[in-house]
């Protein structure tokens, strides 16, 4: 009996001790949580009781060289639903479907999905968003957002690029300068119950978004328009596949215009810019869209043809293996090993100097010059002129050149390289190399970005780009400018001649691979003024129909472009005496012809050098005239005489 009592006391004591230990542990744990972990669990509780919604930051604007906005933002809204807060799901489904123009089935899937928040539609116009907000539907959120807009639609589309539904850059400048343009989103913090229902009358915390910085570029809207119109006009006239134009400052690499016709509408970038006769799979449409977005000026390589003779001539002058007075012979072809390589003039140019050879764009002359330079020295100057590397332009997607391995260059390869065949480069690589040849020997980095400005902090960041000096001697630069001006004044590029502006340039007609397919790229590279180049431009016309010679169809386009943009850039004409006489340049003071007979007027016509006189009416005596007496006008102006 005593034993049992003792045993029971021990059991009770054991239980009490265990309970005491457990209580002590619980008190200790509770104290630890309440004292040492209070901040941690308080933060977790706060997060459970808060719902976070983003406030989109406005993306930075993009401006042209004159401060004209070429990419901006339009206020829109994002419509979302919160499952736990919806009180009348059927009404929500019906109203949102009607207002947004989407199927009830699609809205229902989002409304019935059990999640913290579900997006129904983004980029909703303000009018529709305000209408939905005024419906006061429980569980429906209308949040501010921004949609990218492009006021000039197709202008420089493959350069500027566009953004996706999340407002991130996809191609072009939009993606290249994403880190400056994107901004930092803000947030709205709303208090909720543990079930996710908003607490009525609870204050919201709001963290304001930080707008993105603005990008200022070298693109000039007016020059881009001129170039785009010129490219479209010649492409349609010649029924070509595409036309490309680049206009750049050869001294510092600022690009004024880059055209890839046909362009596409930046406000509708997922719509093809041409009609298709069949229904496309998603994969095929994506392939076509990527092709439409492709900036061929920097992403496509091609055989440059005779414009590349600029590089060969520069290498030969630098290596001092040719003089301007050297004589050559062109029978219409040159035999290189067992291969007959033709000149574009099959009957030949006969005997000609080096100067005449470049004016005539004669292949045999350049085959001989290339042989004098040799593969090793030729590649040395290719490297100096940046032809083995990308230019470093500040938009993505740039391709690199395709060259022979120097060990594989035989006499035939060297011959064809000398006049721009059997190698492939991008149009921009060629323009950059030519710029170094004419600007005094400096390799520049072609670019669009000029500076970045933050509208909030007012800070400004000037963008800088790499240059490399003395890749061509000053003597060779001076000679090449003279030679290329001769090409335009009295050679294959004569159709690019502009009185008073001293244009230099080079033509090319390159056959596309495979040989013998009768498909060509016609091109012309021009610059002005020839003695101090301030602008350089190149046109490439892909597969023109009919006449395809670069000097015939490409050179006049650059002449027309220069005629428009040189005065706009502040480059005034400087006429030689010969030009003033030949083109009747100058001003005259309009004489008073009122009261004179038609016979008397005709006698004065040659004295005053009017371009043309128009007579209005059947009378014999001048009653009125325009321009008025005493006005100063150009000699080539017309005169209108109103007869009694």
Show the tokens assigned to 334.
């040159």
In which region does residue 503 sit, left (phi positive, over 0), alpha (psi from -120 to 50) or beta (all else)? beta
**Rounded-to-integer distance, Cα 380 and Cα 630, Å:** 63
Collapsing DSSP states into helix, strand and coil, what is residue 162? coil
Q: What is the C-alpha R_g of the chain?
A: 37
Out of 77, 157, 218, 306, pick the active-site residue: 306
CA-CA distance, 552 to 602, in Å (whole number)?
38
Q: How many Å apart are CA 303 and CA 145, to the nearest integer?
A: 47
The 50-55 sheet, strands edge to edge: 50-55, 186-191, 205-207
CA-based max dimension of the chain: 160
- How far, CA to CA in Å, does 261 sit from each of 9, 155, 240, 293, 537? 101, 10, 10, 11, 16
Q: What is the C-alpha separation between 598 and 639, in angstroms, rounded?
A: 13
Task: Return the residue matching tokens 């933050």.
Answer: 454
Write out the DSSP string of 163-231: B-TTS-B-SHHHHHTHHHHS-B-EEEEEEB-TTSPBPTTPPPEEE--BPPPEEEES--HHHHHHHHHHH
Secondary element (H or E) of residue 364? helix 363-373
Report yes or no: 91 and 202 within 8 Å, Cβ to Cβ: no
Q: Which residues pair with 402 in a beta bridge?
A: 424
Q: State yes or no: is 306 an active-site residue.
A: yes
Q: Is the dihedral of CA 605, 607, 612, 613 positive or negative?
A: negative
At 272, list the tokens: 């093809």
Distance CA 594, CA 589 (A): 15
User: Is residue 180 within 8 Å of 217, Cβ to Cβ?
Assistant: no
Q: Catalytic amino acids? A: 306
């Amino acid at each position: 009996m005593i034993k049992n009592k003792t045993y029971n006391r021990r059991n009770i004591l054991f239980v009490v001790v265990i309970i005491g230990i457990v209580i002590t542990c619980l008190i200790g744990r509770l104290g630890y949580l309440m004292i040492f972990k209070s901040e941690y669990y308080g933060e977790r509780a706060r997060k459970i009781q808060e719902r976070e919604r983003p406030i989109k930051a406005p993306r930075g604007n993009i401006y042209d060289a004159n401060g004209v906005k070429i990419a901006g933002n339009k206020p829109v809204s994002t419509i979302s639903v919160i499952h736990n807060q919806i009180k009348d799901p059927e009404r929500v489904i019906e109203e949102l479907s009607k207002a947004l123009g989407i199927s009830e089935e699609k809205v229902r899937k989002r409304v019935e999905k059990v999640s913290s928040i579900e997006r129904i539609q983004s980029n909703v116009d303000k009018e529709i968003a305000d209408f939905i907000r005024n419906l006061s539907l429980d569980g429906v959120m209308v949040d501010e957002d921004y949609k990218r807009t492009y006021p000039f639609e197709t202008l420089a589309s493959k350069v500027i690029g566009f953004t996706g539904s999340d407002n991130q850059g996809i191609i072009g400048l939009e993606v290249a300068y994403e880190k400056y343009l994107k901004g930092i989103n803000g947030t709205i913090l709303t208090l909720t119950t543990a079930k996710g229902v908003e607490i009525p009358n609870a204050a919201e915390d709001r963290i304001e978004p930080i707008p993105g910085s603005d990008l200022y570029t070298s693109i000039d809207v007016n020059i881009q328009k001129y170039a785009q119109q010129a490219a479209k006009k010649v492409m349609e006239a010649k029924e070509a596949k595409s036309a490309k134009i680049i206009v750049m400052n050869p001294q510092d690499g600022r690009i004024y215009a880059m055209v890839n016709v046909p362009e596409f509408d930046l406000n509708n970038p997922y719509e093809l810019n041409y009609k298709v006769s069949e229904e496309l799979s998603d994969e095929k449409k994506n392939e076509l869209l990527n092709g439409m977005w492709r900036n061929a000026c920097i992403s496509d390589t091609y055989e440059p043809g005779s414009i590349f003779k600029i590089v060969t001539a520069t290498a030969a002058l630098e290596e001092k293996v040719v003089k301007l007075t050297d004589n050559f012979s062109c029978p219409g072809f040159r035999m290189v090993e067992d291969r007959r390589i033709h000149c574009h003039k099959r009957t030949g140019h006969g005997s000609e100097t080096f100067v005449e050879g470049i004016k005539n764009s004669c292949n045999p002359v350049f085959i001989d010059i290339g042989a004098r330079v040799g593969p090793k020295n030729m590649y040395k100057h290719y490297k100096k002129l940046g032809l083995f590397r990308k230019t470093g332009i500040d938009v993505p997607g740039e391709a690199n050149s395709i060259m022979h391995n120097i060990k594989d260059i035989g006499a035939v390869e060297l011959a064809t390289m000398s006049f721009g065949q059997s190698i492939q480069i991008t149009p921009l690589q060629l323009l950059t190399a030519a710029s170094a040849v004419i600007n005094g020997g400096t390799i520049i980095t072609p670019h669009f970005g000029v500076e970045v400005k933050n509208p909030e902090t007012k800070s400004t960041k000037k963008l800088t780009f790499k240059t490399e000096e003395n890749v061509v001697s000053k003597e060779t630069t001076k000679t090449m400018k003279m030679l290329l001006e001769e090409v335009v004044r009295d050679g294959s590029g004569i159709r690019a001649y502009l009185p008073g502006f001293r244009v230099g340039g080079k033509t090319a007609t390159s056959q596309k691979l495979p040989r013998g397919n009768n498909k060509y790229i016609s091109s012309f590279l021009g610059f002005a003024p020839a003695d101090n180049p301030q602008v350089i431009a190149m046109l490439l016309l892909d597969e023109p129909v009919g006449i395809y010679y670069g000097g015939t169809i490409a050179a006049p386009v650059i002449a027309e472009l220069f005629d428009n943009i040189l005065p706009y850039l502040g480059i005034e004409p400087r006429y030689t005496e010969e030009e003033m006489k030949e083109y009747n340049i100058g001003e005259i003071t309009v004489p008073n012809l009122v009261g004179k007979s038609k016979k008397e007027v005709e006698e004065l016509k040659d004295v005053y050098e009017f371009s043309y006189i128009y007579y209005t009416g059947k009378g014999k005596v001048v009653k009125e005239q325009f321009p008025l007496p005493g006005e100063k006008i150009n000699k080539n102006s017309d005169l209108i005489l109103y007869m009694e």
